[in-house]
Structure 1
Amino acid sequence: MIKKNKQTIGILGGGQLGQMLSDAAIKLGYNTHIYSPYKNSPAFKNSTYQTIGKFEDQKNIDEFINNVDLVTIEFENIPLSTIEYISELKPMYPPPHAIKISQDRLLEKKFFIENKINTNSYMNVESLEDLSRWNFDKKSVLKIRKFGYDGKGQKIISSYEEAKNAFISFKNYPCLIEEFIEYTKEVSTISARDVHGNVYSYNPSENIHKNHILDRSFAPALINEKLDMELKKISSKMISQLEYIGVLSIEFFVSINQQTNQEELIVNEIAPRVHNSGHWTLDGADVSQFTQHIKAIIGLEISEPQLIFMTEMYNIIGDDIYHWSNIKSTENKKIYIYGKDRPRKGRKMGHVNFISRN
């Protein structure tokens, strides 16, 4: 049993998000306990306590629970049974029902529809027969319903034959097929809600992806005031409807409505956690998304975040680390290296925040 005289925040997952959450918590005066299946997890070296164990390991999970005061997550693809078990014994943020919705694209789409939030047309696919009922006159996207991220488990398709081959390559795993959106911009919001009912959003960011992986985020996004207000209104509605505590990220497409020829927002997906597109807040806002999340889940009142610098966030991917690891941060260029053991294609190794002080 770990002896402690101040609150310990348990964090499920040991990646860079857990690392930066742990940094924020410790700066606020709390202990952190990282639980991860991987012995080389980068968050371990930034935390007070560490446990190596599988998320299905009952003995290790029980010991972890006994040594923390509350629990949060750094990524959503954790067995729901583990999330629900922990939530029966310790406060869990975000709530399990929000994690459940975000884990399944079908539940996510139903949540959007039930709350009258604009999204693209879709259909559940559990068999080739289901797939045959979709209209392939327009370009579509086939996505596995669970455990997909950074473009994994999805494929753009233009015909039934392509869709069939993709479905088979996904080993007939339940999927969602949806219309492909011809967007003009991808934007996201980072919002937070605390136990006192306060809800605040950061300035939306515009996101550029390469090979389905976030490459750059620009904050604030270059959008008009109407879209900015609508993004914050939708985000506030969603986080409140979920009775959510902590930071929630929501990704949107900006598209041109063919009937009105006006810009419209189409929600793509939610992430029940701090997010890559919010890393700019470490230097471009007066409070980072990580500090905001910790304050919300610990029971403190959150503040409305203020933009202090226009910021471009650049992801350091794969072998790009060999270039950036030898460069030092400057006043206008803040470099964050995660300390992962080895680079590989598509792996996020760090990020850089370029700050504009004009």
Structure 2
Amino acid sequence: ANPNAHICLITSPGERGRPGAAELLKGVWYLDELFVYHQEDIASLKQKISFIRSLRARKTDLFIQLPEDLAGLRTLFRNIILARVVGARSAFGFVIRTIQLFKKAQVDYLQDETEVESLLNMLGNYGIKTRKAEFDFNITEHERKKVQDMLKKKQKNSNIIIFSPGGKRPANRWPVERFAELAERLVKRYNALIAIVGNDGECCLAEEIAKKAGKTNTLVLTGKLTLRETICLLEKTSLTVSNSTGTIHLSAALGVPTVVIDSVRNVPGRWFPYGEEHQVLYHKFLSCDYREEICIKKSIETITVDEVFEGCDNILSRHEDKKAQSGFYR
């Protein structure tokens, strides 16, 4: 659109200390500036005024609001006013994308485009055309070496498969004992190394899987990797198996095929991983209220180990066929 544009991403992880876009996108060539703020930075009126002055100083020509999935009218009006107050000459992206009315009917009968496709189409509507999304991260050799060192003792296995058994919401988590059974079957069938990722609070889930699946063929990395180091691990991975959490989108960005264990929380499609070679498993037409956490948990628990293994097998067998044809494996 404009190769000479100065692009600034305004982003907040929420509370100070939480990981966010800055950790992932530091040093990337396509951003000129990362403007990071935290909840504590705009708590008082004085801080809010200082925040607005900092943005006004950038003399913004175009303000693009990345649509929030659950944003209501109040949030939209606030953001429109912010774009005006900071002096933006033009702005777009202020839309309501989700309503909770007739949610069950929406989930049961609608199919949405992915978040990435939605954003690309939004840009296209305003003259910024692109055929597909491309992802690039400024990963250092030090980060790659750290991950390689972690894998050294375990890399007798021909396939590295990432498990991400956690998730922000407990209702979104597939039962840990099923992850363990799946791990056993993948190790037996594909001589796989199961690398388990997640945050500090999910270590107990990983240890339980490793204990049941056997520590010889598992590697517990929960709480040990940054987002960028997780990308380094994904670069060496044949497959990701995950609940609907951030791991699936990192995996998709690296072009790693992913089996997603999903629920009736959202209209199918919106939070699916970007790309073609993924398998998203979910059951709908359930006799419960899709707005209730107990119903969402029920939808997750209807997904069997056989279904997930079949999804993994479909992907891995295709890759083994490619390996046989080309003599090369990911």
TM-score (norm 1): 0.32
The structure having more radius of gyration, on CA atoms, is 2
Task: Name the structure where strand makes up a greater proportion of residues.
Answer: 1
